[in-house]
């Protein structure tokens, strides 16, 4: 009896594909996971803030920064790279100021918002997930920084262009290159020396 080759091909095409062996399936999963991790790393490392130290300012140094910036109730404090929100929250809670925290980590933004709500400061502060180089700083009267030497230098033109004369910039541990600070304060806290820099935005010449 002649073989029906068309029917054989149809049956072969309809047959379910062979499942990979357990070892091969595990290898495929590992490769997929490695690809996801590599993509996440590439995204994070390409962001401008990837080079900033992931170190929180100790609370006594937070107060030193706000005192150095002469923060008062009429001020709007912007913290660029706000982490867990401690500087903005302290400015609102202890000085009566309004504040904005700018942070790229969504988990830290959520944590900061939750802390502000818990402390009843939700109407005085806000936290945004944003690239600090894209942040409009014109509302700020005080800007606080704990970034890196390179980021400070790259921010300098933006600070001078967007902040009004008399606005204050306070940086923890990192200067602005050849922009001479108006004051330098050294604090001993958390087992080491912390250097705080203050610049006052000058009037246009």
Please report, to the nearest 10 degrees, the dihedral formed by the alpha carbons of residues 185, 68, 158, 127 taken in order: 120
179 and 150 together in one domain: yes
172 and 143 together in one domain: yes
Has residue 102 been placed in a domain?
Answer: yes
Domain assignment of residue 36, given as a range: 5-50
184 and 154 together in one domain: yes
Tell me how far apart the alpha carbons of residues 139 and 14 are, in angstroms, rounded to a whole number: 66
Residue 205 vs residues 165, 201, 202: alpha-carbon distances, Å: 11, 12, 8
32 and 118 together in one domain: no
154 and 88 together in one domain: yes
Give the pLDDT of residue 205: 77
Give the pLDDT of residue 120: 97
81 and 29 together in one domain: no
Nearest to 110, CA basis, from 129, 90, 93: 129
Give the pLDDT of residue 92: 98
Has residue 25 been placed in a domain?
Answer: yes
Tell me how far apart the alpha carbons of residues 174 and 152 are, in angstroms, rounded to a whole number: 7
Residue 156 CB: number of other CB atoms within 10 A? 16
Q: What is the CATH number of the domain that holds 164?
A: 3.40.50.150
Has residue 69 been placed in a domain?
Answer: yes
Domain count, the chain: 2
66 and 150 together in one domain: yes
Query: 164-191 pLDDT, tens per residue?
Result: 999 999 999 999 999 999 999 999 988 8
Has residue 205 been placed in a domain?
Answer: no
Give the pLDDT of residue 2: 47
60 and 142 together in one domain: yes
12 and 74 together in one domain: no
Q: What are phi and psi of 146, to 5 degrees?
A: -145, 80
Nearest to 65, CA basis, from 166, 158, 199: 199
Tell me how far apart the alpha carbons of residues 147 and 81 are, in angstroms, rounded to a whole number: 7
Has residue 83 been placed in a domain?
Answer: yes
Has residue 123 been placed in a domain?
Answer: yes
88 and 185 together in one domain: yes
68 and 154 together in one domain: yes
What residue ranges of the chain have pLDDT lower than 50?
1-20, 34-50
43 and 57 together in one domain: no
User: Are 155 and 201 in contact, with CB atoms under 8 Å apart?
Assistant: no
């Amino acid at each position: 009896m002649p073989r029906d080759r068309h029917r054989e091909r149809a049956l072969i095409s309809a047959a379910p594909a062979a499942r990979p062996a357990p070892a091969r399936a595990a290898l495929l999963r590992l490769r997929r996971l490695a690809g996801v991790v590599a993509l996440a790393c590439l995204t994070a490392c390409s962001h401008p803030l990837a080079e900033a130290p992931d170190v929180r300012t100790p609370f006594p140094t937070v107060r030193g920064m706000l005192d150095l910036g002469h923060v008062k109730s009429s001020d709007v404090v912007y913290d660029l790279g706000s982490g867990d929100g401690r500087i903005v929250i302290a400015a609102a809670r202890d000085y009566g100021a309004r504040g904005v925290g700018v942070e790229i980590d969504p988990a830290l933004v959520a944590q900061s918002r939750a802390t502000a709500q818990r402390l009843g400061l939700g109407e005085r502060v806000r936290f945004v997930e944003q690239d600090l180089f894209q942040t409009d700083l014109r509302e700020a009267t005080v800007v606080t920084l704990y970034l890196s030497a390179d980021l400070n230098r790259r921010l300098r033109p933006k600070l001078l262009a967007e902040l009004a004369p008399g606005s204050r910039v306070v940086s923890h541990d990192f200067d602005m290159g050849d922009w001479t600070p108006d004051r330098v304060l050294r604090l001993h806290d958390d087992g080491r020396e912390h250097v705080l820099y203050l610049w006052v935005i000058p009037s246009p010449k």
